[in-house]
Amino acid sequence: MKHTTPARRQHGAALLEALISILLFSLGVLGIVALQAKASQFSVDSEDRTRAALLANQIVSQMWAQQSTTLDAATLSSWQAQVSATGSGLPAASGSVSVDSAALATVTISWKAPWRKSAEQANSYVTKVMIP
């Protein structure tokens, strides 16, 4: 009867352990890459929200300067062109200003990030202001 030595039964175990550790390391690296991609998207979303707030503040400042919630057509169309311009930083953006009977102006800016799949995932920024 032939006895096998313990070293013979362990043949290839080191290779298997190395392959498993490479697999686990690869999964960890993929996880870190996915986290970095999400962080980048969140950063761009934050930048877009900041840009929308600045654009809304711009039109509200013009209302405050005129002490009126009504804007002439040229000022409003110029602002809307700036909101929808490619260089504004807001992709597929549109802006609107509406005034109710109590002289409360509502400024709405909507945009859709390129990685959003549907229209329901569009972003919007709404601010309301009352001019005394």
Using alpha carbons, list the distances in angstroms from residue 89 to 79, 94, 96, 102. 14, 12, 17, 33
Q: Which of 65-69, 84-88, 95-99 has the highest mean pLDDT?
A: 95-99
CA 41, 45, 50, 55 dihedral sign is positive
In the structure encoding, which two tokens stand for residue 53, read together? 């707030």
**Does the pLDDT value for residue 1 go beyond 60?**
no
- pTM, 2 dp: 0.73
Rounded to 5 degrees, φ, ψ at 52 are: -65, -40
User: What is the average pLDDT score of the chain?
Assistant: 86
Instruction: End-to-end CA distance of the chain: give it in Å, rounded.
Output: 104
